[in-house]
């Protein structure tokens, strides 16, 4: 309430200048062939992030004030961060713990429901699912017949009642499916909402999530900014004991000019969130200006931020495999493999396998893509850094040139029989060929 007042543009300029200076002062420099950074570089990034926060603080856009933090406060928040999170309950409980870059423990692989494709834009998927079950007997049929008129003509727009209604509908559907398959207490993925009322409704409304079923993000705004909504959500999560997580998506080439600066800013984002959110796990998601993550410099950024957190925070981290080439493209599978090697050998604790396929063309990932993620992760877990870097450079050589003009791919329905949910023979053959090629390069496939 009483921090220094300044314009947002002033804060942005202050942040950008401090970031440039601090990255240089700490001698942070990535070598092109080293995608997974060494211990000294990871530690330098962490200390640079602490210094950055101490110099610029966090900007509250609702008050135009800077929230000042000391290095000591940031380090206390790190020390108080739990090293693991339990998701689900009873026989369906899964514990995800912090990993080191050379840990033999394989990252846990989550596969989210189709309704979690995107926060906005999920309406066609849920609507089609409801339509498909209208004539079905049992709980899903009953729920479909209830939800169709409930959501009729309701727009899923953030900040409106429609946002809350769609989020609650998805929560109820996910839980109904979990009950149907005998996994009543499983973790069914993050809340499909971004506003405080919609998030709280998913835990407080009738027939929706208990604390162990889901989680939500207590995030900052880009870059090192917050507002009363984020702070209120963090406070409510603490009071209700809800499973919050941090989530930072810093962009390479925006406020941060290069991979080194983006890594420092990504860690700083994580640390400021931990200072007020008391989150149990962290989603680290730096990307390029277009949202992709498979270029050499973007993977260097991801790895450095993850390794800095691994060595100095000890929080369970998660990551996604967002690729640029379309579904059914060999280049897209090479991208997946590269990301899994980089993430596993940088200390990531879990993979968020969303069904969305952001590359041009295909709108969804296939189950075979998920299987590839886990085959590679099992194979490279525990691999030493130098060997992992060698493999990454080989795999990058398979697809790096394609990033300029990615293959479009084809829609999910081209590769899968939607009645039997079985993959087309050509997709199975593509995966077999790609896996053989990766194994020939030295990638262990298990």
Single pTM value for the model: 0.93
Q: Is the dihedral of CA 77, 82, 86, 90 positive or negative?
A: negative
Contact 308, 248 (CB under 8 A): no
Q: Which of 29-33, 112-116, 243-247, 439-443 has the lowest mean pLDDT?
A: 112-116
**pLDDT one-digit tens code per residue, 93-142:** 999 999 999 999 999 998 876 655 544 456 777 888 899 999 999 999 99
> By three-state DSSP, how is residue 412 classified?
helix
Q: Which of 167-171, 282-286, 316-320, 438-442 has the lowest mean pLDDT?
A: 282-286
Q: Is the dihedral of CA 274, 278, 283, 285 positive or negative?
A: negative
Contact 214, 187 (CB under 8 A): yes
Q: Is the dihedral of CA 195, 199, 204, 208 positive or negative?
A: positive
pLDDT, residue 337, reads 97
> By three-state DSSP, how is residue 207 classified?
coil
- Average pLDDT score over the chain: 90
DSSP assignment of 230-250, as one string?
HHHHHHHHHHHT--EEEEE--
**pLDDT one-digit tens code per residue, 39-93:** 999 999 999 999 999 999 999 999 999 999 999 999 999 999 889 999 999 999 9
pLDDT, residue 360, reads 54
Domain ranges of the chain: 1-89+248-308, 320-446
Report the interhelical angle of 385-399 vs 425-441 (nearest 10°). 130
Indicate if the pLDDT at residue 353 is higher than 80: no
């Amino acid at each position: 309430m009483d921090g220094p007042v300044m314009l947002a543009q002033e804060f942005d300029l202050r942040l950008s200048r401090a970031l440039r200076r601090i990255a240089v002062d700490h001698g942070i420099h990535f070598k092109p062939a080293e995608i997974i950074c060494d211990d000294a570089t990871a530690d330098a990034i962490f200390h640079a992030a602490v210094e950055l926060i101490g110099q610029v603080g966090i900007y509250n856009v609702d008050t135009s004030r800077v929230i000042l933090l000391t290095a000591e406060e940031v380090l206390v928040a790190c020390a108080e961060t739990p090293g693991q999170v339990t998701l689900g309950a009873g026989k369906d409980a899964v514990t995800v713990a912090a990993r080191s870059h050379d840990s033999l423990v394989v990252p846990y692989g989550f596969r989210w429901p189709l309704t979690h494709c995107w926060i906005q834009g999920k309406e066609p998927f849920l609507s089609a699912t409801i339509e498909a079950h209208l004539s079905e007997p049992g709980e899903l049929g009953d729920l479909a017949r209830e939800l169709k008129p409930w959501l009729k003509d309701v727009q899923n727009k953030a900040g409106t009642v429609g946002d809350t209604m769609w989020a609650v509908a998805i929560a109820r559907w996910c839980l109904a499916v979990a009950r149907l398959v005998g996994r009543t207490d499983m973790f069914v993925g993050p809340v499909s909402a971004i506003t405080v009322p919609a998030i709280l409704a998913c835990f407080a409304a009738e027939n929706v999530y208990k604390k162990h079923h889901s989680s939500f993000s207590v995030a900052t705004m880009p870059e090192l900014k917050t507002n009363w909504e984020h702070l209120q959500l963090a406070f409510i999560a603490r009071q209700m004991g809800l499973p919050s997580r941090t989530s930072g998506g810093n962009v390479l080439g925006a406020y941060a000019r290069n991979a080194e600066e983006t890594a420092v800013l990504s860690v700083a984002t994580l640390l400021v969130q931990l200072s007020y959110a008391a989150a149990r796990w962290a989603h680290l998601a730096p990307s390029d200006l277009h949202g992709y993550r498979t270029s050499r410099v973007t993977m260097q950024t991801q790895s450095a931020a993850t390794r800095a957190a691994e060595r100095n925070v000890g929080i369970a981290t998660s990551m996604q495999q967002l690729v640029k080439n379309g579904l059914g493209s060999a280049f897209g599978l090479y991208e997946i493999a590269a990301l899994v090697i980089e993430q596993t050998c940088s200390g990531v604790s879990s993979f968020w396998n969303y069904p969305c396929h952001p590359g041009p063309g295909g709108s969804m990932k296939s189950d075979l893509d998920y299987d590839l993620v886990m085959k590679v992760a099992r194979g490279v877990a525990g691999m030493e850094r130098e060997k992992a870097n060698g493999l990454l450079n080989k795999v990058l050589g398979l697809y790096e040139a394609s990033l300029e003009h990615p293959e479009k791919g084809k829609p999910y329905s081209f590769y899968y029989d939607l009645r039997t949910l079985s993959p087309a023979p050509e997709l199975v053959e593509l995966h077999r060929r790609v896996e053989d090629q990766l194994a020939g390069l030295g990638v262990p496939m298990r």
